[in-house]
Amino acid sequence: MALRVGILTSGGDCQGLNPAMRGVAKALYEADASNEIIGFLNGYEGLMTGRSKKMRETDFSGILTRGGTILGTSRQPFKLMKEPLDANHPEGPSKLEAMIDTYRTQSLDALVILGGNGTHKTAHLLSENGLNVVTLPKTIDNDLWGTERTFGFQSAVDIATQVIDGIHSTATSHGRVFIIEIMGHKAGWMTLEAGIAGGADVILIPEIPYDPLYILKALNRRESKHKRFSIIAIAEGAKTIAEAALGKSELESKRKASCHPSVAYELAETLDSMMVQEVRCTVPGHFQRGGEPCAFDRVLTTRLGVAAANAVMNGHFGCMMAIRHDKVEPMPLADIAGRLKYVPLDHELIQVARQTGISFGDAD
């Protein structure tokens, strides 16, 4: 019997969304040409409002190498899902109720959702309310619990590494300290891998609070070895030891009150007051999310997409397709939703970095 499957991309965009959808679609069409795919526009917003389009097989052609998402995306906070869809009509359906109604009105057999942490919390909520949901792990932060790898991560690491590579020549030419800010609010996976790959001298991640004095010590050690420059890779969510002692609201208030646009510039000012060497900042920002997916992510998303299609055809719902021991395995949404995967302090990459002389701005 032919299946009618909804699909949407939610949260921040990244490389790999299009090839992941392509993997789902190709497997469904290959299994039965009469299978239908309904694409919801702009993520959960489209599922709430019913904005959708019936996809054609040709819609999924030529998108293996395209960045972004052909369906569009948006951020819809999980904490607002039970609030009215229309704030001007509080007596109307909630956002959750509207999504459930769309699913049923569209006579869907399943819904495939591509997204990160917030997306998975909402996906689990939909699953708990009786919808047949299968998800795919998307985030450049690689911080989704239950999977060793998320798609978009490797592509973003490659870009961040290219930025660090490019800074080396100008840093060397001018004998400067360069601080490069890499995406990652809560987990430091991107900064850790890009920092090692790019030859950073200091890596600062949210999991290891830093002290500027220890950074200065590392920079002085390089200068004593007649090194003309130094590279610091800092995650956007990195914290000083003093900041790590603050509560969440206190830290947010401190950051909002800061005259600096980001943590990189705040660190730059601190170091600038402590040393003679010039300090400069580079913040590649959303550039890290853009462009075409790397070869690794094209293969990964195809594997995950086919696995999602198989789960739908086999009636295996309420799960995320995860990478475990380099194999694709379904993980229950109940085990994933609301959990983050941080960099363990004893992770091999941290030990490797320390043993190659990289400082994390701490006593070790």
pLDDT tens digit string along 261-274?
899 999 999 998 88
- Residue 274 in domain: yes
**What is the percentage of the chain residues whose pLDDT exceeds 90?**
82
- Is residue 153 within 8 Å of residue 190, measured between CB atoms? yes
Residue 7 pLDDT level (bands cut at 50, 70, 90): very high
Residues 54, 85 within the same domain = yes
Smallest Cα–Cα separation from 13: which of 155, 122, 126, 145?
A: 155
Residues 261, 330 within the same domain = no
State which of 232, 266, 289 marks the end of a domain.
289
Contacts of 163 (CB under 8 A, 6+ apart): 180, 198, 282, 284, 287
Q: According to the model, what pLDDT value does residue 49 have?
A: 95
- Residue 139 in domain: yes
Mean pLDDT, rounded, for 86-112: 94
Residues 142, 65 within the same domain = yes
Residues 174, 277 within the same domain = yes
Residues 12, 133 within the same domain = yes
Residues 51, 102 within the same domain = yes
For residue 188, the enclosing domain spans: 156-289
- Residue 283 in domain: yes
Q: Which of 28-32, 273-277, 312-316, 330-334 has the lowest mean pLDDT?
A: 273-277
Each residue of 207-229: pLDDT tens digit?
999 999 999 999 999 988 888 89
Q: According to the model, what pLDDT value does residue 252 have?
A: 85
Residues 91, 224 within the same domain = no
Smallest Cα–Cα separation from 186: which of 205, 211, 160?
A: 205
Residues 10, 142 within the same domain = yes
Each residue of 151-182: pLDDT tens digit?
999 999 999 999 999 998 988 888 789 999 99
- Residue 35 in domain: yes
Please determine, for residue 364, whether its predicted confidence score (pLDDT) is greater than 80: no
Smallest Cα–Cα separation from 269: which of 240, 312, 228, 241?
A: 240
- Residue 118 in domain: yes
Q: According to the model, what pLDDT value does residue 350 have?
A: 97
Question: Which of helix, strand or coil describes residue 352?
Answer: helix
Residues 167, 252 within the same domain = yes
- Residue 364 in domain: no
Give the CATH number, domain containing residue 30. 3.40.50.450
Q: Which of 48-52, 179-183, 245-249 has the lowest mean pLDDT?
A: 245-249
Residues 73, 212 within the same domain = no
Give the CATH number, domain containing residue 207. 3.40.50.460
DSSP 165: H
82-91 long-range contacts, Cβ below 8 Å, gap at least 24? 85/48, 85/49
Q: According to the model, what pLDDT value does residue 228 have?
A: 87
Strands 202-204 and 110-115: unpaired
Residues 146, 161 within the same domain = no
Average pLDDT, the chain: 94
CA pair distance 217, 91, nearest whole angstrom: 61
109, 141, 143, 297: the catalytic one is 141
- Residue 21 in domain: yes
Contacts of 46 (CB under 8 A, 6+ apart): 8, 40, 52, 71, 72
Q: According to the model, what pLDDT value does residue 267 have?
A: 95
What's the number of domains the chain is made of? 2
- Residue 131 in domain: yes
Residues 190, 285 within the same domain = yes
Query: Could you give the count of Cα atoms lying within 13 Å of 69 in the half-sphere of its Cβ?
Result: 26
CA pair distance 265, 278, nearest whole angstrom: 13
Smallest Cα–Cα separation from 192: which of 204, 201, 180?
A: 204
Is 101 a known active-site residue? no
